[in-house]
Structure 1
Amino acid sequence: MSILTIILSLIFPPLAVALEKGAGKDLIINIILTLLGWLPGVIHAFYVNGK
């Protein structure tokens, strides 16, 4: 995971997921989690990008 990915995961989690995985189910899940709360979106972004 690069520094850019870490920064994007903290600031705007859906963008970090989109750059790593593209438009797919992970992006949709992350958008929903981010809308429910910032922290769930950040946790999911780190989980997806850490794989």
Structure 2
Amino acid sequence: MPVKASDVLLIIVAILFPPAAAAFITGCSCDLLINIMLTILGYLPGHLHAFWLIYKKMKAEEQYGRGGFIYVGNGQYEPLYGNPSAAGQVPVNYGATGR
């Protein structure tokens, strides 16, 4: 898994202020609130959560390609264009012959 400059920048931001990195990745979501609370409770838990979010984003880029996914919450990503082959899924035809 190659590390890009944007990922390095996210890691630096996560080291300095974990909620900012979570906001860059997830936007205004429940994960941002969780990261803020973890950072308030202890700086290390906020770091771990931010690094986990960065890791999940990097795995989604590896699986779907750059910009080919959308964040759906809880560290989960889905393909942006609904391409079942990009997600590694096989379309089900439920009795249709597909012809």
TM-score bucket of the superposed structures, by smaller chain = over 0.9
Structure 2, unpaired ranges of 5+ = 57-99
Matched pairs, number: 51
Alpha-carbon RMSD: 1.0
Normalization by structure 1: what TM-score? 0.94
CA distance in 1, matches of 2:52, 2:13: 13
Q: Higher relative contact order at CA 8 Å, sep ≥6: structure 1 or structure 2?
A: 1
Matched, 1:49 2:38: no
**Structure richer in helix, relative to its length:** 1
The Cα shift of 1:49 comes to: 1.5
**Structure 1 segments unaligned to the other structure (5+ residues):** none
- Per the alignment, residue 4 of structure 1 pairs with 9
What's the TM-score once normalised by structure 2's chain length? Answer: 0.50
Q: Which has the larger share of strand? A: 2
Greater C-alpha radius of gyration: 2
1:29 matched to 2:34? The reply is: yes
